[in-house]
Structure 1
Amino acid sequence: MKPNSTLPALQSALDFPLVQALLGRRSRRFGLGMALVDGPLAYTSQHDPLPLNETEQMLVLLAAAGNSGWNYLIPRQNAALSAIANYPAAAGGRTFPSAAGWHTTELFYTDDDGAYFFPTRD
């Protein structure tokens, strides 16, 4: 792969307009290719299953528990700078919220191939 080249699937995600993604977002309550065979909400999808490709899966994991770079340790109180770290607990910024930068969340996810543990602290 040449330097500065991007996978086509990643380039497609990067080219998608942010405002269109935010305002056009609709959650799908029923997966493509799934069937709920009984009860008052019985339904069968008319579509074939459509799993995420590897790039899409990595983008979901990045959004859920990714590292976004330095958070620059913005202090809460200047008087405490020489004594303690004060805020936040870590210098690494993350893509998910956490009080005082502790980021103790661990992520489990599943796909058609299995269940996985994604350690966010390593």
Structure 2
Amino acid sequence: MGQNSSCQPRFGIHGEVPGHSYSRGLAILHRHAKAGGPDVSGTRFVPCPMVGLWITTNPAMRKLVLEMLALEREPGVLSVSLAHGFPWGDIAEATAGAWCISDGNPDQAKTVARQIAEHFWAIREDARTKHL
């Protein structure tokens, strides 16, 4: 899925998701559709071997989301997304990880996705939801 996506749903900080994030994703999809299909060569997914619940109002997660938004302003970066994994899924691919879609530049996408995945891994204990 991650290697063949041209756009992923955007989820920002809970309660603070700007409308332009959604419209930007739709604009990317529209551009690809008019061009005859997406160029997914610049799409990379870097897995983080963990599954859990991470709430974006947590200060550590908030900082990560803000980093992702800043990276999306870099030239050539079209989309940066984070997969939390799904704790109740019974599939091998149910893991956390980071996606980046660049404008046809797989090296840039891999670098950005790895940066976000490494940051996510580093904050995993501070950012995870504590259950009873």
TM over 0.5: no
Larger radius of gyration: 1
With a CA cutoff of 8 Å and minimum separation of 6, indicate the structure with the bigger relative contact order: 2
- Bigger proportion of residues as helix: 2
Provide the TM-score with structure 2 as the length reference: 0.21
